Chains A and B, each alone.
Chain A
Amino acid sequence: MHVPDGFLDAPTSIATGVVAAAAVAVSLRGARRELDDRTAPMAGLVATFVFAAQMINFPVGAGTSGHLMGGALAAVLAGPWTAVLCLSVVLIVQALLMADGGITALGTNITLIGIVTVVVGWAVFLLLRRVLPQRLSMVAPAAAVGALLSVPVAALVFTGLFAVGGNAPVDLGAVATAMLGWHTVIGVGEAVITGLVVGSVVTARPDLVHGARPLIAERELETRKVVAS
């Protein structure tokens, strides 16, 4: 869902640019709490992986495709503040190097893909973590649900932006319905990918999953006798 130049008018693009810049500034400070010698390289890899994964469009029917946005995935793996930065770097590299997403639309894309998906994904994840049994096995499913909801919400926010500053005079009801419909389906793909990736990392190195930290502290340390090899 990379918005190209021209969809939204200048005032709207400038406004989302301001929002994006403010979010990045605030996230640079917030990310300090999340990043240390161990988690900084992990966050770099998360951002890199999101870039790669966004290249994989998957068909969702009737000649349409979707791709991962990665906000929930990045938030659960690297922390929400870092996730905003991860997605922002991805979007900047995509816009400048690959002409994927417009330059004047960069603020819009960071707002939608870097902020909205992270906020929704992380909020839903936190809610589920509070409510579900405190086990590592809940991390991936909770991340998946966060991912599932993050996509249609981002689509709705786009529709809102389009209502305010869309350049073409189009039936808003039709846009809203279509955006919500397709992005709910795309959200399923986002959920599957997020669940699989987060699940893999939780299995291999749960200590590197930001969203799993409080659950690791809960785990008992046990010693077992093992046959000497």
Chain B
Amino acid sequence: MSTRRFFAAFLVVSLLVAGVASYYASSHPDGLEHVAEQTGFLDSAEDSATSDSPLADYQTEGVDDPRVSGGLAGVIGVAVMLLLSTGLFWVVRRREPSDASRDPGA
């Protein structure tokens, strides 16, 4: 599989997972929250300073349909992640080729 096709597929899968599959994720509290509730320290949790963010809790503010609201938040998150992480790694990367790809005849 060509690199371009592989990367495109990887991105599409991420978009589908975040944009579509996320709607079907379990809404039960996760392991930590469950333990905190059972053993009695859940109440010490405080709201994050960003809990008023338009994408807080993976829902898009102003969008009523829960599927679209969640899916859009996921897609926006994926887009932000792709830009930030690829940007970071592009800047951090080595410029010269690694030993493995160096031409042995050169």
Contact = CB atoms under 8 A, between A and B. Distances in A.
Contact of B18 (A55, A85, A178): A55
A24 B49 CA distance: 23
Interface in A149-184: 155, 158, 162, 166-168, 170-171, 174-175, 178-179, 182-183
A86 interface: yes
Interface residues of B, number: 64
B92 A35 contact: yes
A183 B31 contact: yes
Given A36-B98, A56-B17, A89-B81, A65 B7 contact: no
A64 B28 contact: yes
Nearest to B51: A99
Given A36-B93, A178-B35, A97 B85 contact: no
Interface stretch (A42-50, A115-123, A137-145, A218-226): A42-50
Interface in A8-61: 28, 31-33, 35-45, 47-49, 51-53, 55-60
Q: Which of A51, A89, A175 has the most CB of B within 10 A?
A: A51
Given A48-B81, A90-B81, A63 B28 contact: yes
27 contacts: A4-B48, A31-B92, A32-B93, A36-B97, A40-B89, A44-B86, A45-B11, A47-B81, A51-B14, A52-B17, A55-B17, A55-B18, A55-B21, A55-B22, A55-B25, A60-B31, A63-B34, A64-B30, A64-B31, A65-B26, A94-B77, A97-B50, A98-B57, A167-B41, A178-B39, A204-B1, A204-B9
